[in-house]
A and B are shown apart, each in its own frame.
Chain A
Amino acid sequence: MKILIVDDFSTMRRIIKKLLRDLGFTNTFDADDGTTALPMLKKGDFDFLVTDWNMPGMNGIDLLKAVRADPRLQKLPVLMVTAEQKREQIIEAAQAGVNGYVVKPFTAVSLQEKIDKIFERIDNS
């Protein structure tokens, strides 16, 4: 499974990368915002996208919308990991087609739960 991690803080990218490795996902790549991530997604055969919301350049919600608008990427599972937790924002993310939403600060366990849930749903559908 090839995973792209997008966050403007390098420490957070490393944390998520390490947690994913502990969960058995070793094929991970990272980008610091949507502008860098989108070409990577279009070029590479990624299976999963983990993205922050608030980033300079292209933010996470715009990246999600761009992914859903691309015929080749529209089915890509997307997990948002963000400090944003306003009701309207979560609704916006849901409407844009997010598959999971984790609020920072989070625990290793909650991240695993969300990832498991996303793949469970995909396997069942």
Chain B
Amino acid sequence: MSGFESKNEKSLALARHYVKELEAGNWDSAEEALTELTGIRERQIYTELEKLKGDFHEVLQHFNTDETILAFVQDELPDAKKRLLYVIEKTDKAANTTLSAVDSADLVCEKMQKSLDVLIPEWKKFLNRELTAHEFRILSEMIRHFFETSNKDILEVKNQFTEILMAQEFQDITGQIIKRVIDLVSEVENSLVKIIPISGKHQLSIAGVSTQTDNKQKSEADLHTTLDGPQIPGMETKGSLGGQDDVDDLLSELGI
């Protein structure tokens, strides 16, 4: 039998007793039963209030002492916004670089195709012995010119391919940045999960989640202390160098 049912049974018995005593005209005994009956209710309310007071106090304490939450609100969330804006900027730049490179390569291909459109029919005429010596001299000059420019043009197309290739590095950089923002979101989630159980009723159902995220957060925190990841313009980490030139200077100091 649950506590709730036993309390109800007790209340019911007391109520019956109260009515019985009233009907019998035993006023004192009836009064006693009534006092006991209302007492049950009062005790219940009191216990709940005490518990609520305790929970409330604990939540407030937690907010006051948990510096991580303060750090999230003051520093890390604005940082995360800057990081995500940088992701937009990076992807935008990569897309534009790629599109421009495709446009340039396309122009070169069109130019080569136009030259071929002229050369191929002339070449056919030559094979059919339809060209005069003078016309052949012009054709051979055109072919020489085509060979010369083709070399440059192919190189140009290849350069544009390299541009497109290099533009794809955005995926690595933005991937690392987004991973960090996901870590931050998990940390915020974890802090909130820790606070929610204090309010009591969901304690059991959330306890499991809390331990899981605890471990996860720990290993991520370890990573945070050792590696900074891609530097974002305007929010470089302390001790970070300003790019390849600075790195090269340090390396040559170190004899590499």
Contact = CB atoms under 8 A, between A and B. Distances in A.
A99 B171 contact: no
B254 A85 contact: no
A90 B169 contact: no
Q: Which of the four size classes fits the interface of chain B?
A: 20 to 34
Contact of A11 (B168, B237, B244): B168
Contacts of B168: 11, 14-15
B22 to A, nearest CB: 76
- Interface centre among B176, B227, B237, B243, by most A CB within 10 Å? B227
Interface of A: 7, 9, 11-12, 14-15, 18-19, 22, 53-54, 83-91, 94, 98-108, 110
20 contacts: A11-B171, A86-B240, A87-B239, A87-B240, A87-B250, A88-B239, A89-B227, A90-B241, A90-B247, A90-B254, A91-B250, A94-B254, A99-B256, A100-B251, A101-B247, A102-B244, A103-B244, A103-B247, A104-B169, A104-B172
Interface in B221-256: 223, 227-231, 237, 239-241, 243-244, 246-247, 250-251, 254-256
B162 interface: yes
B169 A85 contact: no
B250 A90 contact: yes
